[in-house]
């Protein structure tokens, strides 16, 4: 029973991160289209700090509730840290090289969303596979 509850809590918590990503994607467009560059650049830094805070919150959450899956937890943390760094450097690259090129920016944004969706799907498959193997 604990394993089913933990799996349910985990996937709902992970869905929260996914919808947070979608929300920041639309906010990204809002700052780009309706505000000037300084606000957009400020938003990027706030976005990075919020992700760092959420990562440590997630770390504490899993440390408390998923101690049973410690090995798989650290594997997931490694993937998530790498993902945060990847998105941060891609944003940095996009702002400084393609900021005034709307075609590249829009193309990048769709690629950005595609990467999120692929990451979510792969994580679902991976963790459902773990629970199926344990049973």
- Other Cβ atoms closer than 10 A to 76: 20
Is the pTM value of this prediction over 0.85?
A: no
Structure tokens at 114: 């595609």
Residue keyed to tokens 């780009």: 32
Inter-residue contact 109 to 32 (CB < 8 Å): no
User: What is the predicted pLDDT for the residue at 82?
Assistant: 57
> Residues 78-100: pLDDT tens digits?
556 556 555 655 555 555 555 55
Inter-residue contact 105 to 94 (CB < 8 Å): yes
* Nearest residue to 99 (alpha-carbon basis) of 4, 21, 33, 3: 33
Domain boundaries, the chain: 2-134
């Amino acid at each position: 029973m604990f394993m089913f509850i933990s799996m349910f809590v985990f996937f709902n918590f992970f869905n929260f991160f996914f919808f947070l990503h979608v929300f920041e994607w639309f906010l990204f467009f809002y700052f780009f289209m309706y505000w000037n560059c300084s606000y957009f650049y400020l938003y990027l830094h706030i976005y990075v700090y919020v992700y760092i805070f959420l990562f440590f919150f997630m770390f504490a959450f899993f440390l408390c509730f998923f101690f049973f899956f410690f090995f798989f937890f650290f594997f997931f943390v490694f993937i998530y840290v790498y993902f945060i760094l990847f998105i941060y450097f891609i944003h940095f690259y996009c702002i400084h090289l393609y900021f005034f090129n709307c075609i590249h920016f829009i193309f990048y944004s769709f690629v950005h969303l595609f990467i999120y969706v692929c990451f979510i799907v792969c994580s679902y498959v991976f963790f459902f596979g773990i629970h199926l193997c344990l049973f």
